[in-house]
Structure 1
Amino acid sequence: MTVSAIKLIQPGEIQGMPEDDTPLLVVMDARQAFQDRATRLAQLAATHTDSAWLGFCAQLAQAQVDALGSVETVALDETVVQESFKHSVPPLSISTWKPDARWSVVLAALEASLRKQGLPDGVRAALDRLVALPLSEQHKQAQALLAAEEQLVAADLAPFIGAALQLLWTCEAKLVSSFTHLHKGENGLCPVCGSHPVTSVLRVGDRDGHRYLVCSLCASEWYAPRARCTNCDTPKEVSRLGETPDSLVQGECCDDCGGYIKIMFQSKEPLMDPSADDLATLNLDLALASEGYQRTGRNLFFVTGQDEPSKSD
């Protein structure tokens, strides 16, 4: 796959915070988020050259839907949430996470759903290895994945670990939905949990034309001014690189910091899903890497850690 410059964007074109009532932070409904992801992954797998891998990811997303009933949320101190947003501190910060009994419950629910769906041998072996690990090692791997210390995470276990973490945070994030108006914008990391974005999306509907970063962990979306690098916030120009000018997914690249994040255009495909369409366009990542750019987004279903991920055979 080759990429070419589609458009050079000057910072003065579209920048700054919206002057209308466009929300700066949107917390997603967990069931809708996971179901949309599962549906889109299954759709993509039907025609993709890497259909087996995307098919497994669809199974994993469906397991997240099935496991929602196992997630127990913990009541939040409203004063702490309010003060956190006021001081630009994520109220559900990954840096303060301490594993508890909910981890094992959620992981067991994911496992049960996956085994009912039926798994390829390689994937089943990876799942067996994860559940056989001592609880302390499971926690260690989960904390490393949260901290983006991917070299400490077994790559074939990462999708299961990431799916469990997403369940915990996406369900918990709903508890802060009544406080999202306190977020004032201008965050490179998720204002709810402090995680990296998976991608950015140019939305349609009541958020038409506005760009949002999408959290790789809790699925929350926060406003990000267009024409600006979300990694270093340089005043210099950024460029879009993609396979064609009409590509659904393109890379928004910064020559100042050398980073890029994908940008997706919902107007081109209303059923697109940030996580699913990111997984389906890994060839774009390879092409952008060959151009010298480094990815700044993360996808917890795909981690190049200690070894190669177990794709379905």
Structure 2
Amino acid sequence: MGIKIIPQEQLEQQTVNSVIRQIPLLFYPSPKTLYIHRAERLRFLAKESTFSDYLNFCATIAEQQANIVKQKPITVDLTNILNNDQPPLSINNFPLTNSWQDYLATILDTFPTTTLQIKQVIEQLQQNSVEQLQNKAIYLLKGEFELVEGNESVFIWSALSVYYSQLASQIKGKAIAENTNKHWYCPVCSSMPVASVIQLGNNVGLRYLHCSLCESEWYVPRVKCTSCDNMKDIQYFSLDNELSATKTECCEACCSYLKILDQDKDPHIEVIADDIASLILDMKTEEEGFAKSGINPFVFA
């Protein structure tokens, strides 16, 4: 099962499974609160983490992303982006303008004093032309991550994310279920997921994939591979025990894995923050022969 976004007026014309209709298939992001929560979670996790310096670095970026949403919001006419079969914000359906580069400049200015390594990356990016930055952004959006230096990608993706999350929050379309073989890509922008989250509240027990770019979340049934749909020989690894809130869900069929984060076991979980904080679990899982099927926007290298 995949998800397609259609204009509101077409929703009643669709005939879909009644059970699926009752499940919220898609949640658009709330940028005004999302980055604030992420920054707070990163700061909290940094207190007792072996990756404390990096978590605090990521928190600084998240705080600046929150400031951008507050001080430099964008409003774009998205009226005609739901009229075909493409994800509405995918690069093939919604061409990237260079307006996101203003966000990049703001994020780069966040670090007037920093380490030599970060300073060098910032200076490299600041020396890029508008065209060079645009080309690097398009490479990343197309999944050609190897064409952009990993340290540069962190800054570029952070700017793109705060741009696309605001666009996603303004989409008026509704989600319906459809048959597709690309359900592991975001139905809003066609990017890869960071991890999956088992939610609390009105959607307790339901699993959603979280987009690495636009921050939307879409429904995927549990106990199945989010990459190949396999439902057999799914394994779960954790660093603590079977009650851990953070596990890797591993598929023997395609040898891939993705984190699964359970809010019922820890209601304070934030997808990107907790994914970074549990990098040791990634290392242990990859030692078992599995490859990650998603990306974290702060871990490109």
TM-score above 0.5, yes or no:
yes
Runs of at least 5 residues in structure 1 that lack an aligned partner in the other structure: 1-15, 305-313
| 2:248 paired with 1:251 | yes
Match of 1:217 in 2: 213
Q: Deviations over 1:192-216 (max 9, x none)?
A: 0000100000000011000000000
d(CA) in 2 for partners of 1:29 and 1:183?
23
d(CA) in 2 for partners of 1:271 and 1:182?
29
Match of 2:127 in 1: 132
Moved over 6 A (4+): none
- Contact 1:238–1:254 under 8 Å retained in 2: yes
Deviation at 1:71, TM superposition (A): 4.0
Match of 2:265 among 263, 268, 279: 268
Match of 1:154 among 149, 166, 191: 149
Q: Deviations over 1:247-278 (max 9, x none)?
A: 22101111001111110001121111101111
- Contact 1:95–1:147 under 8 Å retained in 2: no
d(CA) in 2 for partners of 1:127 and 1:180?
39
Match of 2:174 in 1: 180
Match of 1:72 in 2: 74
Distance 1:232 1:26, change over 3 A: same
How high is the TM-score relative to the length of structure 1? Answer: 0.84
Q: For this pair of structures, how many residues does the alignment match?
A: 281
Match of 1:32 in 2: 33
| 2:22 paired with 1:21 | yes
Question: Cα RMSD (Å) of the superposition?
Answer: 2.0
- Contact 1:72–1:102 under 8 Å retained in 2: no
Indicate the structure whose relative CO is greater, using CA pairs within 8 Å and at least 6 residues apart.
1
Aligned-pair identity (%): 33
d(CA) in 2 for partners of 1:180 and 1:20?
11
Match of 2:191 in 1: 195
- Contact 1:94–1:195 under 8 Å retained in 2: no
Q: Deviations over 1:7-30 (max 9, x none)?
A: xxxxxxxxx995573311000111
Alignment-mate amino acid for residue 37 of structure 1: R
How high is the TM-score relative to the length of structure 2? Answer: 0.87
